[in-house]
Amino acid sequence: MQLMKDLKIALVGNPNVGKSTVFNALTGSNQQVGNWAGKTVERKVGTVKRSDVNIELIDLPGTYSLTAYSQEEIITREYILRENPAAIMALVDASNLERNLYLVLQILELTPKVVIGLNMLDLARSSGRNIDAGKLAQWLKVPVVEIIAAKGDGLSDFLDAALVMAGTSPQAAISVNYPPAVEEKIVAMEDVLRPTVWAQRYPLRWLALKRLERDAELGKEWNSIANTNSVADATPACCDVGDAVTYELRSSTELPGEDLLQTFAASGWDHEQFEMAFADAKYSFISEIIAEFVTETPLAKPSLTDTLDRLALSPVWGYPILIAVLALVFWVSFIASAPLGDLISQGMTWLANMLVPILRLAHAPVLLQELVKNGIFAGVGAVLSFVPQMALFFVFFSLLQDSGYLARAAFLGDRFMQLMGLHGKSFFSLATSYGCNVPGIMATRTLEDPKDRLITMLLNPLIPCVPRLGVMSAVVAAFFPGSRGAVAMLSLLGISGITLVLSALFLRKSVIKTEKSSFVMELPLYHIPTLRNTLLPAWQKTYAFLRRAWTYIFAASVIIWSLSTFPLGVPLNQSFAGKLGGLLAFIGHPLGFDWRIMVAIIFGFAAKETTLSTLGILYGVTANASHTIAQVMTASMSSLNAFTFLVFYMLYIPCIATVVTTYKESGSLGWTLFGVGYNLIVSFIIAWLIFHGGLMLGWH
Amino acid sequence: MLSEILTLLSKEQSLTLAHLAEVVGYPVPQVEGGLLQLQLMGYIHREELGQSCSTGSSSSCSSGCSACSLGPSSAMTAWSLTDKGKIYLTRTPVAPTKKA
């Protein structure tokens, strides 16, 4: 071995393989930290002394490959090419071997002076994976050292192996064999490049591969040299290639091999085909050699996730399970919790009855007393009565999410979307709309195709959001007590679903779609939801809803009370609200709606949650303290009227925030108005069919 | 493997990662590596789906985000084709899958 005094050794690896741990352990406090010239990437250099050798250890940026896609890749590649380190310490995560070996293969294309540090073997073993480091070394023809960086085990051996590598002339490392059709083209490119002086600066095979890929960095470098005028400028500082380079560069500004690339492109071999062929071959090579030195200990039995997924994702059982889960969620949230809502409603009435005498004692004006009792308490109380339902819905939503089932539901939903002619990603937007249509519409941003996006946006308001579900469940609980409530609620959701499917198919016909595509989804493991992950998001969502709704409800309650009170001394149906309802009676009449329903529908446009407060005020809930809104409404309309109202309410124009968001996201006033008109017409037609169909069937 | 994954992503049927691994005939970690590689090469992109106000789908909320908190609080990860991936597939004959 020759005597070495100063050596440069580079530490290379994927991100998060423990490179910094190795670097810090080997260099201690002898480090210099800065940035790479002209880059924002951190540069770390340390020194290590070994007997008479002074080692400059450079921690190269973590990277997955050496293709010029990112700053990290370019820095690592350029360092290896330009600085020519005496050895490369390649750190490999044994628990993620495939991904890590891809980088190692790319390094071996640049230099054979590589030593592999096999880290995280303990993690690999715990997942049933045993790696024979000796065989790996034989296959790659480079030394492999087993290390546990976190404990400092094997680090000294790793560095020693790198020192040995630095002092020897290693045999040529293994090279990937590409398919014969590709190999032919590599050899042809090598033949073109070999006589050029430029090729002397790089490993020939690597340069040929990069030329075939039309590597952008090589092109940039060539252009920067070719555009210089003097011999000194043309010759890179790191190289002494003399006048020949200048002569060659001046003779042509075209990169060598361009004609050959054009020939290949004409036969269908563009740079992307080469890029893919090279990457594909490396992965195939890795999977072949891995079989030789990795043994997997099969797990004694399938994991819980595998077992559950066989059912949850089954084309046969998946959908019935999904429907059953959703039915349970809706039943518990919106039907079983109704008594809690009644309790709050009664509590608000009691509170109003307690407060009004106090106001009277304080000589507050009668109108103010009326506003507090029949305006604020009736309106706000009506909305508060469905807070338990909403909170429960959010608890279940968090439960499904935290358990991992929501992701499965989304996956099943994708198949359903495909059947409707929608993009699978539309599911996420539509599912989000069950919370609120505004974020649902914004979630369409993940859809690349503008037509997919537009259709999903237009379909979004057909999904009943939580405020709508809350109002619906309150009315359902009043008119369809007991198990009939669950049937009514599921029927309404069924109508919403069928309308959604038919609308999707209709819009697909009118808004022509171009192409279909799919995605690969990473499903999380199932696990038992924690209380924190369930209750905290549920509380945050409920609080967010109340905070958002409060201003609307309070303002709407005051406005509706004023409209229904003035002019003073007239009957309710002669008030401003009554007159407004009367003006719209011609729309409501075919559907069996009275003027109060029409006013509630109009005010629902401002925010859906105000509908219940409007109904509460117009039906005079607190005027009759012993009755809840349910009791007052059931005395005024039939169950058929109520069901027709619910269908219309569920499908008619979305709230103003949703309309504004649709306009902002679509950028089209025309499509926004089309959406509003479409919802109005569809809701009217379906409600009319239900009302008159019901009458014909004798449902009163 | 990489071109097989790309081909499968162009089909109408979406897949789970485990199912994709089964179809292409490679272990899940290897397929994950392949997906990452394709992502780095720009043929596919990784997205966070289902979170309307996350950076994966939208950088900000047009209505001041007051309604965003009503959506799902965590996102789901998915990979889909980029334009580069789509163009590549139109120019390249479809690669057969191991289990196709």
Q: Once rounded to an integer, what is the mean pLDDT over residues A421-438?
A: 78
Kindly tell me if the per-residue pLDDT of A686 is higher than 90.
yes
Secondary structure of A590-616 in the HEC alphabet?
Answer: HHCCCHHHHHHHHHHCCCCCHHHHHHH
Contact A683/A648 with Cβ under 8 angstroms?
yes
Please give the pLDDT value at position A37.
66
The CATH number of the domain covering residues in A6-166: 3.40.50.300
| CB spacing of B1 vs A284 below 8 angstroms | yes
Lowest-pLDDT range of A159-168, A337-346, A388-397, A516-525: A516-525
Cβ of A273 under 8 Å from any chain B Cβ?
yes
Kindly tell me if the per-residue pLDDT of A625 is higher than 50.
no
Q: pLDDT (tens digit, 9 = 90+) per residue, A242-275?
A: 444 544 544 556 777 788 888 888 888 888 888 8
Please give the pLDDT value at position B71.
52
With CA atoms as reference, report the closest residue to A154 among A21, A54, A48.
A21
Lowest-pLDDT range of A11-25, A62-76, A83-97, A540-554: A540-554
| CB spacing of A520 vs B42 below 8 angstroms | no
Kindly tell me if the per-residue pLDDT of B29 is higher than 60.
yes
**Rounded to a whole number, what is the distance in Å from the CA of A243 to chain B's nearest CA?**
37
Q: Residues 409-468, chain A: which have Cβ within 8 Å of B?
A: 410-411, 414-415, 418, 424-425, 428-429, 431-432, 435-436, 438-440, 442-443, 445-446, 465-466
More confident residue, A32 or A450: A450
| Chains A–B, number of C-beta pairs less than 8 Å apart | 213
Q: What's the rounded Cα separation, in Å, for the pair A23 and A321?
A: 52
Residues of chain B positioned with their CB less than 8 A from the CB of A517: 9-10, 12, 80-81, 86
Please give the pLDDT value at position A65.
83
Please give the share of chain A, as a percent, with pLDDT higher than 70.
Answer: 88
Cβ of A329 under 8 Å from any chain B Cβ?
no
Q: Once rounded to an integer, what is the mean pLDDT over residues A579-604?
A: 84
Residues of chain A positioned with their CB less than 8 A from the CB of B47: 446, 519
| CB spacing of B91 vs A268 below 8 angstroms | yes
Q: Once rounded to an integer, what is the mean pLDDT over residues A206-212?
A: 87
| CB spacing of B53 vs A442 below 8 angstroms | yes
Do the bridges between strand B44-49 and strand A114-119 make them parallel or antiparallel, or are there none, so unpaired? Answer: unpaired
Please give the pLDDT value at position A237.
43
Residues of chain B positioned with their CB less than 8 A from the CB of A407: 76
B44 φψ region: left (φ > 0), alpha (ψ -120 to 50), beta (else) = beta
**Rounded to a whole number, what is the distance in Å from the CA of B69 to chain A's nearest CA?**
6
Please give the pLDDT value at position A659.
87
Contact B76/A431 with Cβ under 8 angstroms?
no
Ranges of each domain in chain A: 6-166, 180-295, 320-696
Please give the pLDDT value at position A546.
76
Question: Residue A677: pLDDT band by 50, 70, 90 thresholds?
Answer: very high
Nearest CB partner across the interface for A272, out of B58, B72, B88: B88
**Rounded to a whole number, what is the distance in Å from the CA of A98 to chain B's nearest CA?**
6
Please give the pLDDT value at position B66.
46
> Is residue B100 included in any domain, yes or no?
no
Kindly tell me if the per-residue pLDDT of A292 is higher than 50.
yes
Q: Check: CATH 1.10.287 for A180-295?
A: yes
| CB spacing of A280 vs B3 below 8 angstroms | yes
pTM over 0.80, yes/no: no
Please give the pLDDT value at position A229.
44
Find, in chain A, the residue whose alpha carbon is nearest to that of B88: A272
**Rounded to a whole number, what is the distance in Å from the CA of B87 to chain A's nearest CA?**
10
Structure tokens belonging to residue B15: 């897949």
Kindly tell me if the per-residue pLDDT of A98 is higher than 80.
yes
Kindly tell me if the per-residue pLDDT of B38 is higher than 70.
yes
More confident residue, A309 or A609: A309
To the nearest whole number, what is the mean pLDDT of chain B? 69
Find, in chain A, the residue whose alpha carbon is nearest to that of B32: A99
Domain at B37, CATH number: 1.10.10.10
Residues of chain A positioned with their CB less than 8 A from the CB of B3: 276, 280
Q: Going by C-beta distance under 8 Å and a sequence separation of 6 or more, which residues neighbour residue A495?
A: A647, A650, A651, A686
**Rounded to a whole number, what is the distance in Å from the CA of A518 to chain B's nearest CA?**
5
Please give the pLDDT value at position A38.
65
Please give the pLDDT value at position B20.
85
Q: Once rounded to an integer, what is the mean pLDDT over residues A550-559?
A: 76
Question: Residue A514: pLDDT band by 50, 70, 90 thresholds?
Answer: low
Structure tokens belonging to residue A451: 């037509």
Q: What's the rounded Cα separation, in Å, for the pair A451 and A594?
A: 40
Please give the pLDDT value at position A226.
58
**Which domain, by its residues, includes B75?**
2-58+66-91
**Rounded to a whole number, what is the distance in Å from the CA of A317 to chain B's nearest CA?**
17
Please give the pLDDT value at position A88.
92
Residues of chain B positioned with their CB less than 8 A from the CB of A264: none
| CB spacing of A522 vs B78 below 8 angstroms | yes
Please give the pLDDT value at position A495.
92
Q: Once rounded to an integer, what is the mean pLDDT over residues A397-421?
A: 79
Contact A403/A414 with Cβ under 8 angstroms?
no
Q: Once rounded to an integer, what is the mean pLDDT over residues A66-79?
A: 82
ipTM here: 0.73
More confident residue, B97 or A608: A608
Q: What's the rounded Cα separation, in Å, for the pair A191 and A334?
A: 75
More confident residue, A249 or B56: A249
3-class SS at A8?
strand
**Rounded to a whole number, what is the distance in Å from the CA of B40 to chain A's nearest CA?**
7
| CB spacing of B33 vs A283 below 8 angstroms | yes
Lowest-pLDDT range of A141-150, A344-353, A371-380, A448-457: A371-380
Lowest-pLDDT range of A147-151, A550-554, B64-68: B64-68
Please give the share of chain A, as a percent, with pLDDT higher than 90.
Answer: 10
**Rounded to a whole number, what is the distance in Å from the CA of B92 to chain A's nearest CA?**
8
Kindly tell me if the per-residue pLDDT of A607 is higher than 80.
no
More confident residue, A61 or A514: A61
Residues of chain B positioned with their CB less than 8 A from the CB of A429: 52
Please give the pLDDT value at position A334.
67
| CB spacing of B63 vs A436 below 8 angstroms | no
Q: Once rounded to an integer, what is the mean pLDDT over residues A472-476?
A: 82
Find, in chain B, the residue whose alpha carbon is nearest to that of A547: B66
Kindly tell me if the per-residue pLDDT of A522 is higher than 50.
yes
Give CA A11 to chain center in angstroms: 34
Lowest-pLDDT range of A394-403, A477-486, A608-617, B45-54: B45-54
Count of domains forming chain B: 1
| CB spacing of A438 vs B68 below 8 angstroms | yes
**Rounded to a whole number, what is the distance in Å from the CA of A429 to chain B's nearest CA?**
7
Kindly tell me if the per-residue pLDDT of A453 is higher than 60.
yes
Cβ of A8 under 8 Å from any chain B Cβ?
no
Distances (CA, A) of A134 to A22, A166, A250: 22, 20, 51
Question: Residue A20: pLDDT band by 50, 70, 90 thresholds?
Answer: confident
Please give the pLDDT value at position A574.
81
Q: Once rounded to an integer, what is the mean pLDDT over residues A121-140?
A: 84
Cβ of A657 under 8 Å from any chain B Cβ?
yes
| CB spacing of A520 vs B74 below 8 angstroms | no
Q: What's the rounded Cα separation, in Å, for the pair A213 and A175?
A: 18
Long-range (24+ apart) CB contacts under 8 A made by A420-423 are A420/A500, A420/A501, A420/A504, A420/A505, A420/A508, A421/A504, A421/A505, A421/A508, A421/A513, A422/A452, A422/A455, A422/A456, A422/A459, A422/A504, A422/A508, A423/A447, A423/A449, A423/A452, A423/A456, A423/A516, A423/A517
Residue B16, φ and ψ in degrees, nearest 5? -85, 165
Q: pLDDT (tens digit, 9 = 90+) per residue, A155-164?
A: 889 999 998 8
| CB spacing of B40 vs A443 below 8 angstroms | no
Give CA A129 to chain center in angstroms: 31
More confident residue, B54 or A401: A401
| CB spacing of A283 vs B61 below 8 angstroms | no
Q: What's the rounded Cα separation, in Å, for the pair A435 and A456?
A: 16
